[in-house]
Amino acid sequence: MSPIRKWWPALIAGVIMTMLAPVTLVTAGPAAAAPAPLVVDTATVIETRLQNLLLPALTVVQNTSLAAWIRSTAAAGSAGDSEVALSSVIFEAEEREWVDPASATWLAFKAAAAQLDNVNGTAYPAKIYIPNYGDGVSAARVVTMTYTRADETTTSVPGYRLGTAGTLVTAVAAIDETYVLTNEVWVLAVDENDDTGVVSVAGQPGTPPSTPTAAREPVNTPMVVCTPNGQRYDQGMEYLQRFKVPDPGSLEPWWSGKLEMRLVIMGQGGTVIKEAAYNVKRKAARNWVNLDEFITTWIRASGGDGWAYKWYEHDPGNSVTIGFGLGVELLKILKLSADVKWTLSNHDDMAGLSMVGFTELTTTEYTAGPVHWNVCSAGGILPENFSRNATATASTTYTGYAPERVNDGSTSTSLGEANSWANAYHTAPPQWVQVTFPVDRTLGRVIVYTTASYPIRDFDVQAWDGSFFVTIGQVRANTAVSVVIPVAPRSTRILRVVGLSGPLAQPGYVRVNELEAYGS
């Protein structure tokens, strides 16, 4: 449950108690100021009006032609999910003369649906959502209907049918997500796309006002060709490659339908780099959704060393202003002195906040809360790899596995003497390989490539300070074939990798396939 949602039930309780309190009549004395208008929580109003719509809706869908049209339209998924707007239901029913437009039951249905057109000043058009229809669920003989609730911690709800006396009867006591995988249920809900959910992100000098981005259905397209080695170069094009939500129920219940995912990317100084809005069917969200969403060109001098990715799932509600959630590390990276405030709906579900760093490999799978995602970088200015013009030497060498392999320009992590250096037979670690530059170089980043299936498990990265080798990076329990080591700017003539232990299968051998050194 999001921190916001923890307090809104208390607000509703306070509103109800206020409405039930005795009224005091003032008969004399100075004129009192008019009380502030009472605004009930938007989600609570929506739930009440959907409940009032339940009986009229069940009544009109007894028309078999209308019910068949609703099912076929929902199965087509034209609204991004198996749903149909009630405005379309009304238009088709009258246009095709399936109903008497002047009948009391039809007018009652239209009037109840119209109640959702103005909820605290915002329209939330009603719709019928049929979970998994056409995707494992077939039409039932009798329509079972329910409606969405304001309390999203609710995981099961009763289902209703129209009784013989024209009244509501409970058909299913508790409908949950497992039930709707194989049974048809019609859910009265509202269109949650009243906006992107991003009202504003502000509070820091230089932060532009938020510009809402229209929500869209992700379309799988041919993927952008990312930088092959997973590195990010200055002034390269940055993409959000894909995302997934393996457990949609962690964000909202099954009866809410598709996920209205929202993303804010914040850069140096609190500048909003990108806002994006995606509507994704629950089943699709469980797997990778390919996006290749272009973010911007990452110019490191102005964009900084890292960006904050903030994910949330949007639901209609009242506006509330809270902190963005930037911790000490992110505040430092973004060069901010305090957290940023932002305004959103009090029913939005926070789905995670994490940093994407400039020096991190773009093969990284990021996870924050229930959302997983990958980024992609393409192009940019290729930085100079100081190792290419250096001389490689080693403490010992296994026959054929020459030190020169570590700066030959090949980042292949394949096994074999053509690809890597390895220490000599029967020489226990620690063992080292190093590159000596023709002149002093100021280092900002080192990348160590080791051998697939035989990675160096423990190693240190050291720089010569003129008198001693100083450790500038330590890696322990490594299983990756490439490791990026950010370095506080340091000038040196010699860069060394000291292998402390090889892989579990061969702990006595340390292998380095390539050693790259960059200024940033």
pLDDT digits (tens, 9 = 90+) for 253-276: 888 888 989 999 999 999 999 998
Secondary structure of residue 462 in the 3-state scheme? strand
Provide the 10 A C-beta neighbour count for residue 153: 9
**Cβ(431)–Cβ(510) below 8 Å:** yes
Please check whether residues 204 and 185 belong to one and the same domain: no
pLDDT value at 207 more than 80? no
Please name the amino acid found at residue 111: A
Report the chain's mean pLDDT, rounded to a whole number: 86
Q: How confident is the model at residue 126 (pLDDT cuts 50, 70, 90)?
A: very high
pLDDT value at 201 more than 60? no
Residue 122 within any structural domain of the chain: yes
pLDDT one-digit tens code per residue, 350-365: 999 999 999 888 989 9
All residues at 6 or more sequence positions from 170 whose CB lies less than 8 Å from its CB, including other chains: 158, 159, 160
Q: How confident is the model at residue 294 (pLDDT cuts 50, 70, 90)?
A: very high
pLDDT one-digit tens code per residue, 383-393: 899 999 999 99
Please check whether residues 219 and 321 belong to one and the same domain: yes
Q: How confident is the model at residue 25 (pLDDT cuts 50, 70, 90)?
A: very low
Greatest C-alpha distance within the chain: 105
pLDDT one-digit tens code per residue, 324-345: 999 999 999 999 999 998 888 8
Burial class for 316, CB neighbours closer than 10 Å (0-12, 13-18, 19+): buried
Please check whether residues 395 and 351 belong to one and the same domain: no
Q: How confident is the model at residue 120 (pLDDT cuts 50, 70, 90)?
A: confident
Residue 252 within any structural domain of the chain: yes
Question: Which of 346, 378, 410 marks a domain boundary?
Answer: 378
pLDDT one-digit tens code per residue, 295-317: 999 999 889 999 999 999 988 77
pLDDT of residue 317: 79
Portion of the chain with pLDDT greater than 70, in percent: 86
Please check whether residues 336 and 248 belong to one and the same domain: yes
Q: How confident is the model at residue 319 (pLDDT cuts 50, 70, 90)?
A: confident
pLDDT one-digit tens code per residue, 144-155: 999 999 888 888
Q: What residues make up the domain containing 158?
A: 39-190
**Cβ(73)–Cβ(96) below 8 Å:** no
Please compute the mean of the pLDDT values over residues 168-181 and round it to a whole number. 94
The number of distinct structural domains making up the chain is: 3
Please check whether residues 307 and 352 belong to one and the same domain: yes
| Distance separating the N- and C-terminal Cα atoms of the chain | 41
Residue 11 within any structural domain of the chain: no
Residue 3 within any structural domain of the chain: no
Phi/psi at 86 (5° precision): -65, -25
pLDDT of residue 429: 96
Please compute the mean of the pLDDT values over residues 458-472 and round it to a whole number. 97
Please check whether residues 182 and 207 belong to one and the same domain: no
pLDDT one-digit tens code per residue, 472-500: 999 999 999 999 999 999 999 999 999 99
pLDDT one-digit tens code per residue, 244-257: 999 998 998 888 88
pLDDT value at 469 more than 60? yes
DSSP code of 455?
-
Beta-strand pair 421-422/83-85: unpaired
pLDDT of residue 350: 92
Residue 119 within any structural domain of the chain: yes
Burial class for 411, CB neighbours closer than 10 Å (0-12, 13-18, 19+): middle
Residue 27 within any structural domain of the chain: no
pLDDT of residue 192: 67
Question: Which of 349, 378, 407 marks a domain boundary?
Answer: 378
β-bridge mates for residue 190, sequence order: 126
Q: How confident is the model at residue 41 (pLDDT cuts 50, 70, 90)?
A: confident
pLDDT one-digit tens code per residue, 404-460: 999 999 999 999 999 999 999 999 999 999 999 999 999 999 999 999 999 999 999
Residue 23 within any structural domain of the chain: no
pLDDT of residue 211: 46
Residue 216 within any structural domain of the chain: yes
Question: Which of 139, 163, 190 marks a domain boundary?
Answer: 190
pLDDT value at 13 more than 50? no
The domain that holds 289 is classified in CATH as 2.60.40.150
Please check whether residues 165 and 228 belong to one and the same domain: no
The domain that holds 432 is classified in CATH as 2.60.120.260
Please check whether residues 180 and 217 belong to one and the same domain: no
pLDDT of residue 359: 83
All residues at 6 or more sequence positions from 398 whose CB lies less than 8 Å from its CB, including other chains: 417, 422, 423, 424, 425, 509
Please check whether residues 347 and 433 belong to one and the same domain: no
Two tokens at 374?
A: 């990958």
pLDDT value at 35 more than 90? no
Please compute the mean of the pLDDT values over residues 391-397 and round it to a whole number. 98
pLDDT of residue 78: 59
Please check whether residues 310 and 394 belong to one and the same domain: no
Please check whether residues 46 and 118 belong to one and the same domain: yes
Please check whether residues 264 and 156 belong to one and the same domain: no
